[in-house]
């Protein structure tokens, strides 16, 4: 077990940890003393009909979802909804290789799946709040992969689903891209077979990962328009790479990122229907609004639209953002205005 201040409250804000005890994982192993980090906003109404689950994406935690997506003036308004944000397993705050002690620590941590997240979240919602039904599940990127997993495997529990900037089944393009990210970390001699002494020792690997994320996380137009200047306030491309990309990943734990990437690379709801994506998505009963980002190089709108065509009654709302996939962070004000409008419409349906 490694101490990493980045994943504690001074940085991550207020959150609670729910102890799930034994969590039987899709890989067959049982994660012992599994913990989920969560935070809630608003009040659960008497018939428990206003619960909204917000999931987290790769490298993100509940903090960014809280800061960007939830609050007065947003569709996810605590005055109306009881909003629970849950950190995914391996987020660095929830159970992760580096914050686990004993025989499942570090390189011995079991491999996770998106299905494990949804199983764990369902238990948390039931055990802590008695919630059996969700008015909405919403999340972006890997968070959206969890939304699809919820909607396909627990249709009776999901009234509405809003997968943002993701696909229901990982593409070949994403699989090889994520593999390049993993190799950036494991090729660092400081990785030491997963037995580094502190995450910061793997600094070269984290820097390389940051640079590769930058090649597809933002759009070509983002770079051509030098929006690292206008939107992010950086003085040069190098300043952006150092001050935004590398600075973002530097404090994180490499194993936490690896655990998430393993899930990201394998997210595929079709495995619940023998590989038949159409059959899997046909199980969705939630009112679904699929929300790709116009300039997303990770999850191109056309792929999200192909998913939506297989979901009964699904609507597609393309979010326009030159930031591409990274637009998820809400850097430009226009992004959240679109998300809020689409989520409000969905919640009103």
Cite the active site residues: 141, 296, 325
* Among the listed residues 32, 123, 173, 203, the single contact to a second copy using CB under 8 A: 173
Taking residues 272 to 311 in sequence order and writing x for each that binds a second copy by CB under 8 A, - otherwise, the string is -------------------------x--x-xx--------
| CA dist 82 → 39, 121, 328 (Å) | 11, 15, 22
- Nearest Cα neighbor of 53 from 147, 145, 119, 141 is 147
> 250, 203 in Cβ contact below 8 A?
yes
* Among the listed residues 223, 282, 283, 315, the single contact to a second copy using CB under 8 A: 223
**Residue-level length of the chain:** 349
* Among the listed residues 108, 175, 192, 341, the single contact to a second copy using CB under 8 A: 175
Q: Order the strands of the 82-86 sheet from edge to edge.
A: 16-24, 30-41, 82-86, 51-54, 136-140, 160-164, 287-290, 315-316
Report the C-alpha gap between 35 and 33 in whole angstroms: 6
Report the C-alpha gap between 124 and 127 in whole angstroms: 5
29 binds a second copy (CB under 8 A): no
221 binds a second copy (CB under 8 A): yes
In the complex, the smallest distance separating the C-beta of residue 209 from a second copy, rounded to whole angstroms, is 10
316 binds a second copy (CB under 8 A): no
> 297, 219 in Cβ contact below 8 A?
yes
* Among the listed residues 1, 17, 24, 176, the single contact to a second copy using CB under 8 A: 176
Q: Which two tokens stand for residue 228?
A: 């690292």
- Stretch binding a second copy (CB under 8 A), from 42-50, 60-68, 83-91, 174-182: 174-182
Q: Which phi and psi angles does 216 have, rounded to 5°?
A: -130, -15
177 binds a second copy (CB under 8 A): yes
Nearer to a second copy, 189 or 313 (CB): 189
CA angle, 109 as apex, 249 and 199 as ends, to 5°? 30
222 binds a second copy (CB under 8 A): yes
In the complex, the smallest distance separating the C-beta of residue 188 from a second copy, rounded to whole angstroms, is 7
204 binds a second copy (CB under 8 A): yes
Residues that bind a second copy (CB under 8 A): 171-173, 175-177, 179-180, 183-184, 187-189, 204, 208, 211-212, 214-216, 218-224, 226, 228, 237, 241, 297, 300, 302-303
């Amino acid at each position: 077990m490694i101490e990493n201040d980045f994943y504690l409250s001074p940085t991550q804000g207020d959150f609670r940890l729910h102890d799930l005890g034994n969590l039987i994982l899709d890989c067959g192993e049982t994660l012992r003393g599994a913990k989920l980090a969560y935070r809630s906003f608003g009040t659960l109404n008497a018939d428990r009909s206003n619960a909204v689950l917000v999931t987290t994406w790769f490298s993100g935690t509940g903090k960014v979802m809280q800061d960007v997506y939830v609050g007065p003036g947003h569709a996810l308004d605590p005055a109306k909804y009881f909003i629970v944000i849950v950190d995914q397993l391996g987020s660095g705050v929830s159970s992760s290789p580096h914050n686990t002690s004993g025989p499942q620590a570090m390189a011995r941590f079991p491999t996770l799946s998106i299905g494990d997240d949804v199983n764990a979240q369902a238990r948390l919602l039931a055990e802590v709040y008695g919630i059996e039904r969700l008015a909405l599940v919403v999340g972006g990127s890997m968070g959206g992969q969890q939304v699809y997993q919820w909607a396909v495997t627990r249709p009776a529990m999901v009234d509405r689903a809003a997968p943002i900037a993701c696909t229901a089944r990982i593409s070949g393009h994403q699989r090889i891209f994520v593999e390049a990210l993993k190799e950036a970390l494991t090729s660092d001699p400081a990785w030491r077979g997963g037995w580094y002494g502190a995450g910061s020792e793997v600094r070269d690997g984290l820097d390389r990962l940051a640079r590769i994320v930058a090649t597809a996380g933002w759009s070509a137009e983002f770079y051509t328009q030098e929006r690292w200047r206008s939107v992010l306030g950086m003085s040069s491309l190098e300043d952006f790479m150092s001050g935004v990309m590398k600075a973002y990943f530097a404090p994180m734990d490499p194993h936490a990122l690896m655990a998430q990437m393993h899930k990201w690379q394998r997210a595929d709801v079709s495995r619940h229907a023998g590989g038949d994506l159409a059959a899997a998505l046909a199980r969705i009963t939630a009112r679904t609004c699929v929300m790709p980002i116009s300039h997303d190089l990770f999850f191109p709108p056309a792929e999200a639209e192909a998913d939506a065509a297989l979901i009964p009654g699904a609507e597609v709302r393309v979010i326009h953002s030159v930031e591409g996939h990274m637009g998820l962070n809400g850097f430009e004000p226009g992004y959240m205005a679109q998300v809020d409008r689409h989520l409000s419409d969905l919640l009103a349906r």
